[in-house]
Amino acid sequence: MKYKLLPFLLALLLAAGSLAAAPLPDSTRIARSTEYQDHHFRRAATPEGAAYRVEIMMKDSARGVAKTYSLSSGKLHSYKAFLNQAPRIRHGAYLEFYENGKTRLQEVYVLGILQGERRTYYPTGELRRREMVAPGQPTTGECFGPDGEPVAYFPYMQMPVYPGEQAGLLQDIGRNTVYPRLALRARAEGVVIVGFTVGKDGKVQDVAAEEPSADASVALLQAYTHLQEAAVQSVRKLKPFVPGRREGEVVEVRFRVPATFKIL
């Protein structure tokens, strides 16, 4: 079962509304820049140790596109239209590609929200999935085998599941957290956001705490390093998850969770 790419791309641009209606940019005003990302698609300070190169083209002060290339192969990995906010939000077409150059995924976002038709493909170009995504609505669609024949529908993305689910996750983070003495003395309270990856084996890895928010109190800023260390240690002690799946295949999934410090 074959589908032509051009009509779908036109539909993506029309669904993005303002993108389709906006005038073509003046090529003399287009700004270009390059960024690097690690294998979790987090921004890297230098090309050394990075996994991806991101070529960014700003069409004007508000709109841009980012093309992400694999540094190992030099091949295009993804294409993303975005709005230039802090942080950038997806707005318009989003596509991913296989190493052979064929399309893997097609989606459309409006103001950062996924909606409309999602399509995925096998490396051969055969349609793998076609489904409709709408905010607050059940996702419905069709799935196909490599031979083009229909198969039972299953969700595109299944997130990792912690024992006790979300409540159990937050409860265990609280139980695992030891309030640092220096933070207690300074009566520093606040929330530390911790990022981590749930590996294909379900175990927590690559744990790192984010920097404090701009409006953090002076006491919190002074003790933040100690709170970060305590938060990271609490996440490292988490039990294994049931790993996540994408298109039915086990994958790594990046998470962000809060570790709350409050003196009672």
**Residue 200: which CATH number?**
3.30.1150
The reply to whether 211 falls in a domain is yes
- Are 173 and 247 contained in the same domain? yes
Residue with tokens 């975005």: 82
Structural element, H or E, at residue 222: helix 218-236
Q: Collapse the DSSP code of 1 into the 3-class scheme (helix H, G, I; strand E, B; otherwise coil) and give the result.
A: coil
Sequential DSSP letters for 66-99: EEEEETTT--EEEEEEEE-SSS-EEEEEEEEE-T
The reply to whether 89 falls in a domain is yes
Looking at the 3D structure of the chain, how many domains does it have? 2
- Are 142 and 174 contained in the same domain? no
User: Which position has the higher pLDDT, 122 or 26?
Assistant: 122
Domain termination site, one of 154, 187, 203: 154
Helix axes 218-236, 165-176, angle to 10 degrees: 110
User: Residue 4: CB partners within 8 Å, gap ≥ 6?
Assistant: none
- Are 242 and 206 contained in the same domain? yes
Domain termination site, one of 133, 154, 175: 154
Rounded Cα distance between 46 and 43, Å, is 9
Is the pTM value of this prediction over 0.85? no
Burial of 5 (C-beta count, 10 Å sphere; 0-12/13-18/19+): middle
The DSSP bridge pattern shows strands 43-44 and 63-70 to be unpaired
CATH number at residue 120: 3.90.930
The reply to whether 160 falls in a domain is no
Rounded Cα distance between 187 and 36, Å, is 39
**And the tokens for 143?**
């799935």
pLDDT of 4 over the 50 cut: no
**And the tokens for 42?**
């987090």
In this prediction, residue 21 carries a pLDDT of 41
Mark 25-52 as b/e (b = at least 16 C-beta within 10 Å).
eeeeeeeeeeebbeeeeeebeeeeebbb
- Are 77 and 102 contained in the same domain? yes
Mean pLDDT taken over the chain: 87
- Are 85 and 177 contained in the same domain? no
Domain termination site, one of 154, 186, 205: 154
The reply to whether 16 falls in a domain is yes
Strand partners for 79: 67, 95
In this prediction, residue 231 carries a pLDDT of 95
- Are 169 and 214 contained in the same domain? yes
In this prediction, residue 29 carries a pLDDT of 61
pLDDT per residue over 104-115, tens digit each? 999 999 999 999
Instruction: Print the domain residue range for 70.
Output: 5-154
In this prediction, residue 160 carries a pLDDT of 97
pLDDT per residue over 11-57, tens digit each? 443 444 443 444 444 444 678 999 999 888 888 888 888 999 999 99
- Are 87 and 18 contained in the same domain? yes
Burial of 220 (C-beta count, 10 Å sphere; 0-12/13-18/19+): buried
- Are 189 and 213 contained in the same domain? yes
In this prediction, residue 24 carries a pLDDT of 44
pLDDT per residue over 203-222, tens digit each? 999 999 998 877 777 777 88
- Are 126 and 177 contained in the same domain? no
